[in-house]
Structure 1
Amino acid sequence: MAFVGLLQYSALAVLILQILRPSLASVAPVVVEKQLLWQGGSTAEVAAFRIPIITNTPDGGLLIVAESRKFSGSDAGAKFLTLRRSIDGGSSWSPVELLVEDFQTVDGLNVAHRCFNKQPFSERGSLGLRTRYGIQLTKGKQKGRLVACGHLISDYGSREGLYCLKSDDHGNTWEVGASIPGIPDYSAKKVGDFALSEPQIVELQNGSLLCFTRNTYAYHCNCKVVSRSDDQGDTFLQKSIRFDDILVDPGCAGSALMHKGVLYHLNPNSAKSRDNLTLRWSEDEGQTWKGSLAIDPGSSGYSCLSAIDDNHIGLAYETRGYRDITFVRVRLHP
C-alpha cells in the first residue's frame, strides 16, 4: 500500500509540475498566423522596409517599428521610422504611423543617432544600436538596470566588436559596460577576422546575461557567437565565449527571447544566404537546443521576437529581398 501511495504521490507531483511549468512540459511551437505588414514599393511609396523591432506593452498590446528606406534599400540613405500597433495579440494592426523623419539626408543612419546619444564612443566611432532592443534587469543587485548592446563602427567603416551600455538611473545617464573588442583592434577588417556585431541579450533565471551575436567576418565558423555576463552587464566572461555550431548563420542579425523558462532563438538557418528563417528553443538556457520550427524557407533577413501571452510569441522579419516585413504569431503549447 505504501508503494502504491508513493506512486500516486509521484504522479501527482509530476502533474502539478506540468500545470505550474507548462513551458517545460509541452513546448511544441506551431505557426498560427502570418501577415504582411509593410510592402516595399507599395506602402507610402517607400522603396524598402528593414530592421523590424517588435515588443509588447504593459497593457497587452504589441508594437512593431520599421526602418523605412525611401529611395533604396541601402544602409546609407534617406529614411524615416514607422510604427504599427496591435491591441488583440497581432490579429489586426493599426495603419502605419510616422515616428521620425530625416527628410533627404544623404547619411540616413543619423535616424538611429537621433534616438540614442552616441557620445560615449565619439572618439573612436559610433555605436550601432538600431538592430536589436535593450532590456531592463529584473533580478540581482542591479535590478532595474537598463542594458543595451550594439557594435562599434569605426571611422574605417568596419565593425569593431561588441559593446554594451548600462544605465542605473532609468536612462538619464549611460556608461560603457561589458565589451568584447574585435581582433585586430580598430583597423579595417577582412573575412576571417574576429568582430562581433548586432547582439541580442537575454536575462537568465539566475540574473546572468546571455548574449547572441553576429559573427560578422566568419571567424572560425558561419554561426552565432554566444557570451555571458555574470555581473549584470559590467563585463563578459572571456571563458564563456563560444561558437554555437547549431546556430548556423550567414552573417545576419537574429533574435533571442527568454519566455516562461524557455529560451527561443530566431535567425536564417543557412551558412551562405539569408533564407530559411528558423525558430529554435532550449530548456537549459542555450546549452542545448531541443527542437526547431521552420518559419519561412524563402528570403528572410533581420528578425525580432517578443512575448504576446503565456502561450504565444510573435516575430517580425524582413522578406522579399529586404523589401517587406512580415508578422508571425506562434503558439507554444498544444
Structure 2
Amino acid sequence: MRRGSVERAGTRAGAAFALTLAVALVLAFVLRPDAPAGPADADGPEPAHRTGLTAAVSAPFNAFTEGYDCYRIPSLTTTKDGTLLAIAEARTSGCADIGDIDLVLKRSTDAGRTWGPLQVIRGAGDPGAYGSPAPVVDSASGRISLLHAYSTWTADADGNRVRGPRELRLAHSTDDGATWTTDPDPQPQLKDPDWAWVSVGPGRGVQMTPTRPDRPGRLVIGSDYRTGTDASGAQLLYSDDGGLTWAAGARWSAPAGTPAPSEPALTQLPDGRIYLNARSTATCGTPDHRLSATVDDASAPAFPAPGFTPVADLPAPPASGSVLQLPGGPLLLTAPSRPGAESSDRWTLAVRTSQDEGRTWSQDGAVVLRERAGYSDMAALPGGRVGLLYETANGTPHGYIKFTAFGLTELRSAAEDLTPRRTADTGPYRDDAVVHGAPRLGNRPGGGKAMRFDGTDDFLRLIDCPDELRVGAEDFAVATWVQYKTRGQDRGSGLRRPLLWAYGQGPAAKQFRLEADPATGRLEATVNAGTGPVTVTSPTRTDDDKWHHVVLQRHGGRLELSVDGRAPATAATPTGPAGDLRPGGAFTVHLGTRPDYKAFYAGALDDVRVYGRALSRNDMARLRDGHDVTDEERVHLAFDAIR
C-alpha cells in the first residue's frame, strides 16, 4: 500500500447479543448510498483511492444551537433495548473548559440516523460545571449508570475565574435514558482527600462477562486523578450491584514529572482482562502520546507491573480516544492520527486495529475525517455495526458532535497507511520534519535537491517540541536558501507568505518567523517575546525566481536579516528576560505555512539550518559556498529525500 502523509492525513449485553455482533460484523453492509458527503479535506486533495470511511450519518449536537455555544466530550452507549444514547458536555459560553457546563443527552431509536429532543441531565439552573460523562449499562436490569464530574468556580489572586474543588457524582436511568434520577450528593469514596483533581472517562464503561449465571457482570469505569503534590494516575471504579453503589479499585500512580495516564478508555479483552488506553501527560520530547495497561481484577488494590507504559509507533496528538474489542475480531482504537504535541494537532480521526490485544497497533487505518477532529467514543450497535460519536468543527477540533457507523468490512476496505511522511534532519538531534500536502523535491543548481511548495497546502512541521528548539534570550540563527516569485493572486491578498514560523501566533505569543511580503517582493524577519513584534525587511527584492541565501538571526541584542552576504537590515530587540522567546508549553515549528494554516508559501527552500548562536560573516560565507557549519547546529534539513 502506498505511503501517504498522515495529514491526508464494552458494554456486553449477554452472550446472545455478542454472538449476533460477531456474525454481523463479518457480514457488515455498507451505509446508505444517500448518506451526506463529508467535508472537504482542509489540507488539499487526496489520491482517488483514499476514500476513508462513510461520511457522518448525523450530527446530534451542533454548535450555537438549542441554547448552547459548544458541545464537547462525547460519550456513546447502547441501552438494553437497543436505543442509542449520545451524551455530551453543553457549554454555554464558547468551548472553554472554564464556564457554565451542563450534561445533555439525545436518544436515537434508528441506529443514529435521527435523534430525539435535547434533554438536560444535569446543570439546568446551576452555574457550575458538570462534565466527563461515563455511562455504563447493566445488561440484567437495563439500568444505565452515569458517573460524571462536578465542580464549582472560584477566583484566583488576580480575580480570574478558576475551577473549584472537583468531585464525582452519579445519575441513573431505568427507562433507556428517557428520564434520569440524579444524586445531588458526591461520591466521596471515589476520591482521596488529598486529590486536587478527579475525573471519569470520558466515554462508556464496560460490563464484564458474568462469572455466574445468577450474578450480573461487574460494571467498570476508568478514572484519573492528580494529588496536591502533582502526582497523577489512573484508577478503576467498579460496581457489583448493577450500578447502585460504586467502589474504588485498582490504582496506578506516576510521580510528579513523569508520564501519567489521563482520560483512560477501556474494554474487555477476549481472555477476560481489562485493557486501558489513555492519553499521556507527556507531550514534549517524545513521539509517544498514549499509554496503555492491562489488569485482571478491577477490585485489586493496584495495577500489576509494569502498569501504564508508552504505546510506541502510534502517531497521535494529546487527545481522548476510544477502544472497543470486537467479539471474534480485532481490538479497535479511535483517535486523531496526526502526530504532534499540541491540542491543535487534533486532525485526521482514524480507526486503527490491533491483533495482539493492544501490544501493537496497525500502521494503516480507516480515516473517519481528514479535517480537525478531537475526542471520540465507540459503542456496539444492535445488528452488528459499530457506532462512533466524535468532535469536529470548521477550523477547530471542537464545537459540533457527529455520528457515523461502520462494519468490519468497511474498515478493511478503507484502510490506508497512516505513517507520517518525513524528511530527515541530519543534525545531531535528528528532529526529522513531518511532510504535509505534496511538496516535491527539485534540483538547486550546484546545491543538490530542494523542497518545492505549491502555495496551496504544502508544508512541513518540526514536532514534539524538543528542548533544543526552545530559543531563549540568547543569540540564535536560521539560515536557508530561498527561491520564489510573487504570484499574481498573492499581490492583493494582504497575506504574507510564511517560509518559517516557530511557536505561536498573535501579538502576545512568543514567536520568530521569516515571511515573504508579496506587496513589496521582500522578505521580513520578526521576533516577538510576547510584548509585541520587532520586524526587519530585506533591503532588496527577493521574489525574482533566483536562489538567495538568507540568514535571520539575533545577534547581541539586535535582530538581523541578511541576504546573499550583504549588510543586514537590523533592529534592536529586548534583551535579558524581556527578550526571552522560549515558549512556556508545547510548540511546533512550521515551514511553508503559519500555525493557523491560512497562508502558504509558494516557492522553494533548501538547506534549512537552525543554530543556538549567531553566525559570523565567515560562517555565512562558508554556508553559501556549500560547506558545513556545525557548531551549535540544532536542525539541518538538507531535503535529500522524502520517506
Partner residue, 1:214: 279
Partner residue, 1:37: 60
Change (3 A) 1:98 1:232: closer
Change (3 A) 1:333 1:38: same
Alignment of 1:286-297 (within 5 A): 286-290=358-362, 291-297=364-370
Change (3 A) 1:289 1:180: same
Contact 1:275-1:297 at 8 Å conserved across structures:
yes
Contact 2:379-2:387 at 8 Å conserved across structures:
yes
Instruction: Give distance in 1, aligned partners of 2:283 and 2:357.
Output: 24
Contact 1:254-1:304 at 8 Å conserved across structures:
yes
Identity of aligned residues (%): 26
Q: Does 1:196 align with 2:261?
A: yes
Alignment of 1:10-21 (within 5 A): none
Contact 1:209-1:233 at 8 Å conserved across structures:
no
Q: Deviations over 1:71-93 (max 9, x none)?
A: 12122211211111111111221
Partner residue, 1:8: none
Partner residue, 2:382: 309
Match for 1:127: what amino acid?
Answer: V
Report which of the two structures shows the higher radius of gyration computed on alpha carbons.
2
Larger fraction in strand: 1
Q: 1:245 aligns with which of 282, 287, 312?
A: 312
Partner residue, 1:123: 193
SS of aligned partner of 2:313: strand
Partner residue, 2:399: 323
The farther-off stretch of 201-210 and 122-131 is 122-131
Q: Does 1:267 align with 2:338?
A: no
Change (3 A) 1:27 1:36: closer
Partner residue, 2:482: none
Match for 2:188: what amino acid?
Answer: Q
Q: Deviations over 1:166-204 (max 9, x none)?
A: 2223333333211111222xxxx5xxx322110011111
Q: 1:148 aligns with which of 221, 224, 228?
A: 221
Larger fraction in helix: 1
Contact 1:214-1:224 at 8 Å conserved across structures:
yes
Instruction: Give distance in 2, aligned partners of 1:24 and 1:205.
Output: 17
Which TM-score applies when normalising by structure 2? 0.44
Aligned length: 306
Q: Deviations over 1:253-298 (max 9, x none)?
A: 1000112232111001122211111101223322343441011111
Alignment of 1:103-142 (within 5 A): 103-107=125-129, 110=150, 113-115=168-170, 117-120=186-189, 121-125=191-195, 126-140=197-211
How far 1:33 sits from its partner (Å)? 4.5
Q: Does 1:333 align with 2:430?
A: no
Change (3 A) 1:87 1:27: closer
Q: Deviations over 1:131-157 (max 9, x none)?
A: 12221211558962121111114457x
Partner residue, 1:101: 123
Change (3 A) 1:294 1:132: same
Q: Deviations over 1:25-71 (max 9, x none)?
A: 99999426532221112x11311100110111121221101110111
Instruction: Give distance in 2, aligned partners of 1:97 and 1:170.
Output: 24
CA RMSD of aligned residues (A): 2.9
Partner residue, 1:17: none
Change (3 A) 1:53 1:159: farther
Match for 1:113: what amino acid?
Answer: L
Which TM-score applies when normalising by structure 1? 0.81
Instruction: Give distance in 2, aligned partners of 1:304 and 1:38.
Output: 14
Contact 1:210-1:229 at 8 Å conserved across structures:
yes
SS of aligned partner of 2:306: helix
Contact 1:312-1:330 at 8 Å conserved across structures:
yes
